[in-house]
Amino acid sequence: MSNNYGSWNGRNNVNVDTKKIAKIGGIVAIVIAALIVLSKAFYTIGEQEQAVVTTFGTPSCVSDPGLHLKIPFVQKVQMVDTTIKGFAIGYDMKTNSVIPDEALMITSDFNFVDVDFYVEYKVSNPIKVLYASEQPVAILKNIAQSCIRSTISSYDVDSVITSGKNEIQASIKEKIIENLEQRDIGLQLVNITIQDAEPPTANVLEAFKAVETAKQEKETEINNAKKYRNEALPAAEADADRIMKEADATKQARINEAEGQVARFNAMYEEYIKYPLITKQRMFFETMEEVLPDIKVIIDNGDGDTQTILPLDSFTGTQE
């Protein structure tokens, strides 16, 4: 009897220990789960960071540094770095080698030049940086390249390489800021500087020389054309002035002649009114003198004797 009792008591102790272990395991699991949940409920914001907290798809911005609480599995947090960052245009920052597609530009006087820039920016709106566009930095770089080329093309090569760098930088910065305000992608331009500006490399030198030659030929043709114009224009103006004066003189002569004929006609008409027959005869004789000035009228009576009637040679003494 004693052996059976002892066996039953041992099995009972085992069952009690199993229950205790299971209970302790459950508590430990609960504690671990609670720790996991608590670890998901807190996040820390650094001095140069901002957090975008999304609650059921609606984002909000938290910018205060330190420890913050969130609702696990309901709210999601994305950290955004707000420090000043930068990128290069025209050269590779790692190898410091030129990137021709970005660096090579043309100036207002049709010269080629290699210009390198460094762009500094920072995040101004974390929510828009994350959700307004897929690649805000790439958009900023495209905007910067467009503004750079449009500005460089309005300056001559001497200004780009030497004296006009500060003015060019200020103009480019103003254009980029204006474009960023219009696009509103959550980035702010801090500064843009010209790192280097120099004449083109040897690969572009032949094209550069061809452009210079074409410019010189153009200037030569323009100068030749101006020279010809300066020589031909005074002569043409003199010819035009002479023709105008001759035309005016001819015009005035014809007017005077017409006025004289009108005056003679009026005077003759007055004489005709007074003495019509005499005037007719005089007009007839005057007309015949004009029409037949050199004709002689000879009368032959048939027996060989002739007599000159016109002109009156006997009175002029010019008989033939």
* Average pLDDT of the residues in 127-151: 93
**Window from 39-48, 159-168, 237-246 with minimum mean pLDDT:** 39-48
Who's near 180: CB < 8 A, 6+ residues apart? 140, 143, 187, 188, 189
- For the chain, the first-to-last Cα distance in angstroms comes to 206
| pLDDT at 223 exceeding the cut of 80 | yes
Residue bearing the bigger pLDDT, 172 or 219: 172
User: How much is the pLDDT for 315?
Assistant: 43
Pull the structure tokens for residue 2: 């004693």
**Window from 31-35, 62-66, 159-163, 187-191 with minimum mean pLDDT:** 31-35
Q: Please report, rounded to a whole number, the percentage of residues in the chain having pLDDT higher than 70.
A: 75
Side-chain half-sphere CA neighbours of 24 within 13 A = 6
**To which H or E segment does residue 215 belong?**
helix 202-274
Mean predicted lDDT score pLDDT of the chain: 81
**Window from 20-24, 95-99, 203-207 with minimum mean pLDDT:** 203-207
Who's near 14: CB < 8 A, 6+ residues apart? none
**Window from 1-10, 134-143, 216-225 with minimum mean pLDDT:** 1-10
**To which H or E segment does residue 159 belong?**
none
* Average pLDDT of the residues in 149-167: 90
Enter the pTM of the model. 0.55
Reported confidence tier of residue 145, pLDDT bands at 50, 70, 90: very high
